[in-house]
């Protein structure tokens, strides 16, 4: 009886652990729920469809390429970016964050670039979000629409990246990048009071800005001395967004509109 009781207790503990793990994985999908502005009860069906994606979760090691997938992937945790090597120099562009989709990319044709995990990365298969019901209606209409818009969204981000590295000085370019991250992470519920997670160090930021790590370090400290930002290990806080916006200059999207 004692052995049976121990087995039952162990089984219950294992079930509780599995349930907690499932809830944690499903919770990571809240970034997309927030980005889409979904709320129960109106969007209950789409929320359930999104949270069920945790079953297809895959882990990718930090600093390793993410294999090209034939299906759309959704980032649930961690950061990634596109990486291109030219000679001995490595360039980063287009940071991808929780709540972003990864689609088969023309950027990777002929080995022109590759997608790399900057941190430990988790993705899920987003195919269920693209499916239709028997009556022809979308299973997840808002998510399906966002997936369809992903390529144009990425194109806009790349144009903003080009603007930063060609038309801004170091202060303006970094201000522009930080405001972009603030906007994107705020949309997925990962920003509180102007503070957001920044799990990558100054070296990847430098590779994205065409700056040395030392230059990034000095510029960020300069922005902090001016009271525009504050930061620590793994986080960044935008203290005065209005002043930072003036420093960042008009974005590439605004410049095109003008």
Neighbours of 107 (CB within 10 A): 14
State the pLDDT at residue 21. Answer: 52
Per cent of the chain over pLDDT 90 is 71
Neighbours of 7 (CB within 10 A): 10
State the pLDDT at residue 67. Answer: 87
Could you identify the residue written with the tokens 């961690």? 78
Per the structure block, which two tokens stand in for 214?
């030392």
Q: How far apart are CA 49 and CA 121, in angstroms?
A: 22
Q: Which of 202, 180, 207, 206 is nearest to 191 (CA)?
A: 180
Rounded to whole angstroms, what are the CA distances from 164 to 10, 56, 252?
A: 56, 36, 8
Range with the poorest average pLDDT among 9-13, 122-126, 166-170: 9-13
Report, as an integer, the average pLDDT of 75-96. Answer: 92
Q: How confident is the model at residue 82 (pLDDT cuts 50, 70, 90)?
A: very high
Q: Which of 119, 120, 94 is nearest to 106 (CA)?
A: 94
Q: At what angle do helices 202-209 and 213-225 cross, to 10 degrees?
A: 100
Q: How far apart are CA 234 and CA 100, in angstroms?
A: 20
Distance of CA 70 to the CA centre of its chain: 20
Alpha helices in the chain (DSSP H): 2-27, 30-36, 44-51, 141-148, 150-167, 170-187, 202-209, 213-225, 241-248, 252-257
Residue pLDDT, tens place only, 50-69: 999 999 999 999 999 998 88
Q: How far apart are CA 82 and CA 199, in angstroms?
A: 16
Range with the poorest average pLDDT among 18-22, 31-35, 39-43: 18-22
Domains by residue range for the chain, with CATH: 168-257 (1.10.10.10)
Q: How far apart are CA 141 and CA 137, in angstroms?
A: 8
């Amino acid at each position: 009886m004692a052995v049976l009781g121990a087995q039952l207790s162990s089984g219950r503990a294992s079930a509780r652990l599995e349930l907690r793990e499932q809830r944690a994985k499903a919770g990571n999908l809240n970034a997309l729920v927030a980005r889409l502005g979904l709320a129960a009860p109106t969007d209950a069906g789409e929320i359930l469809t999104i949270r069920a994606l945790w079953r297809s979760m895959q882990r990718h090691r930090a600093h390793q390429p993410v294999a090209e997938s034939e299906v759309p992937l959704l980032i649930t945790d961690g950061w990634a970016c596109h990486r291109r090597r030219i000679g001995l120099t490595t360039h980063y562009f287009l940071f991808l964050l929780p709540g972003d989709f990864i689609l088969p990319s023309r950027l990777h044709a002929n080995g022109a670039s590759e997608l790399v995990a900057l941190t430990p990365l988790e993705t899920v298969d987003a195919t269920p979000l693209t499916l239709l019901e028997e009556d022809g209606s979308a299973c997840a209409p808002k998510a399906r629409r966002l997936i369809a818009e992903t390529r144009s969204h990425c194109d806009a981000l790349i144009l903003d990246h080009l603007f930063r590295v060609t038309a801004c000085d170091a202060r303006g370019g970094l201000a522009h990048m930080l405001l972009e991250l603030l906007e994107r992470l705020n949309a997925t519920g990962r920003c509180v009071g102007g503070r957001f997670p920044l799990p990558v160090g100054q070296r990847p930021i430098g590779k994205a800005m065409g700056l040395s790590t030392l230059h990034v370090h000095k510029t960020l400290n300069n922005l902090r001395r001016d009271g525009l930002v504050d930061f620590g290990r793994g986080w960044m806080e935008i203290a005065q967004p209005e002043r930072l916006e003036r420093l960042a200059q008009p974005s590439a999207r605004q410049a095109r509109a003008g």
